[in-house]
């Protein structure tokens, strides 16, 4: 079978009003952060998803750094994080002196195995980070119960998870704190950007201070105090209005973007699922409570060798397919520091997972073409 059209892995979505809104900011001569567009983005998230309080950040990594500051992670505190994730799930806590306790994935899904988390908890456990891989919720409600029983803070690394749900609850609303990413690889993007979500009221005031370089400038801007001062530690976490304006245009098209992505996801599944019945590949097990957002479409190959071969074959056909994370405890930075139990599911996931192209501009015939190539390669 031949394929002449090159299919990239991702094309960041470009909303129709991005340029108009960015121009508006340029003309307003108010380019710094926390202006009109930042407020409009905040209103959008608080109204649409029911989040108690949000703060736009320059990245999801920044939002997670704010989480580490808010939780007040200190030397020796332990933070439980799934090994199958991106370094930003752990770096913010390592930077505050935390000891990272890596957790394994489920056997049939990259997400954290919630049933095995309790035995990782010690009196020093300060926080648990959960990652909603591909926009699918781990058993986040159960994880929140476990955290509440043990007086631990739950942080959702919801980088993948905008508009996804656990039953009726939007992801990002279940943890004490949560973080979204608007990196160009995510469903809604502004190049680089993120969002801190604060569901536990006790963190709100301090979050606004940390966001504004450790000053009470947010209160000053609201007219609540005559001057602003340096009152805590903090950093420069807020993005420029240029970024917020670009992001708002994307948010206004969220419904369209999601409709397209979900249709693409469903078509891939329809065309490929029979390969599972004949034992050529596997699909992740999606729990009934998880309502996904089609952030990623991926398959589990039967072995690392099969994944490498299929990846190479698709690339030779000009179709970009990629594996994803190397388990964090196996990365060069950590491999020599790691002295705990093996995490076999995380390793198998890393070996076998293969992501296929998924973005709004992908066409049905692209998906048909990719699926046919995979089927004929595996059945030959």
Binding site for ligand PLP (CB under 6 A): 59-61, 85-86, 88-89, 131, 157, 159-160, 181, 183, 194
Please, what is the angle between helix 241-251 and helix 18-28, to 10°?
150
Q: Report the residue number, 192 or 232, with the smaller CB distance to ligand PLP.
A: 192
Shortest spacing between CB 246 and ligand PLP, in angstroms: 14
Q: Helices marked H in the chain — which ranges?
A: 18-28, 36-49, 60-71, 91-94, 140-150, 204-211, 217-221, 241-251, 254-272, 274-277, 304-316, 344-352, 364-379
Q: Indicate the residue among 62 and 253 with the shorter CB distance to ligand PLP.
A: 62
- Closest C-alpha among 173, 233, 184 to residue 60: 184
173 versus 371: smaller Cβ distance to ligand PLP: 173
Counting runs of H as helices and runs of E as strands, what totals does the chain give? 13, 12
Q: Is the CB of 18 or the CB of 60 nearer to ligand PLP?
A: 60
Closest contact distance (angstroms) between CB of 178 and ligand PLP is: 11
Nearer to ligand PLP, 192 or 361 (CB): 192
Instruction: Report which of 189, 167, 176, 158 is spatially closest to residue 291, judged by C-alpha positions.
Output: 167
Nearer to ligand PLP, 36 or 324 (CB): 324
DSSP string, 53-69: EEEEES-HHHHHHHHHH
State both tokens at 360: 């709004």
Q: Least CB distance from residue 315 to ligand PLP, whole Å?
A: 22
Tell the smallest beta-carbon distance from residue 74 to ligand PLP (Å).
23
The DSSP letter of residue 42 is: H
Closest contact distance (angstroms) between CB of 181 and ligand PLP is: 3
In contact, 367 and 268? CB cutoff 8 Å = yes
CB of 182 to ligand PLP, least distance (A): 7
**Closer to ligand PLP at the Cβ: 85 or 350?**
85
Length of the chain measured in residues: 380
- Supply the minimum distance, in Å, between the C-beta of residue 57 and ligand PLP: 8
Q: At what angle do helices 254-272 and 241-251 cross, to 10 degrees?
A: 60
């Amino acid at each position: 079978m031949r394929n002449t059209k090159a299919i990239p892995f991702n094309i960041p979505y470009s909303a129709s009003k991005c340029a108009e809104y960015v121009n508006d900011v340029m003309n307003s001569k108010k380019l710094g952060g926390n202006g009109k567009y930042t407020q409009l983005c905040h209103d959008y998230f608080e109204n649409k998803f029911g989040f108690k309080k949000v703060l736009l950040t320059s990245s999801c990594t920044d939002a997670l750094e704010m989480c580490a500051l808010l939780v007040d992670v200190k030397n020796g505190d332990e933070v439980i994080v799934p090994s199958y994730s991106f370094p930003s799930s752990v770096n913010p806590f390592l930077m505050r002196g935390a000891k990272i306790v890596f957790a394994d994935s489920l056997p049939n899904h990259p997400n954290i195995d919630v049933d095995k988390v309790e035995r990782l908890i010690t009196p020093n456990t300060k926080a648990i980070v959960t990652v909603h891989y591909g926009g699918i919720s781990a058993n986040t409600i159960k994880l929140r119960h476990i955290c509440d029983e043990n007086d631990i803070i739950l942080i959702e690394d919801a980088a993948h998870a905008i508009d996804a749900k656990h039953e009726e609850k939007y992801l990002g609303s279940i943890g004490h704190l949560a973080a979204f990413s608007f990196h160009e690889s995510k469903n809604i993007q502004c190049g680089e950007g993120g969002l801190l979500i604060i569901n536990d009221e006790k963190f709100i005031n301090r979050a606004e201070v940390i966001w504004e370089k450790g000053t009470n400038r947010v209160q000053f801007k609201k007219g609540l105090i005559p001057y602003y001062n340096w009152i805590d530690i903090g950093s420069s976490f807020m993005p420029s209005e240029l970024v917020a304006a670009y992001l708002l245009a994307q948010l206004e098209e969220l419904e369209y973007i999601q409709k397209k992505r979900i249709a693409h996801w469903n078509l891939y599944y329809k065309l490929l699922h029979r390969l599972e019945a004949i034992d050529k590949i596997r699909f992740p097990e999606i729990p009934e409570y998880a309502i996904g957002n089609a952030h990623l479409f991926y398959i589990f190959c039967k072995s690392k060798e099969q994944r490498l071969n299929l990846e190479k074959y698709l690339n030779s056909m000009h179709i970009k397919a990629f594996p994803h994370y190397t388990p964090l405890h196996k990365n060069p930075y950590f491999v020599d520091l790691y002295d705990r139990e093996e995490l076999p599911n995380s390793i198998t996931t890393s070996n076998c997972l293969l992501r296929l192209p998924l973005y709004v501009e992908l066409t049905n015939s692209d998906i048909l073409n990719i699926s046919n190539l995979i089927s004929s390669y595996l059945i030959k």
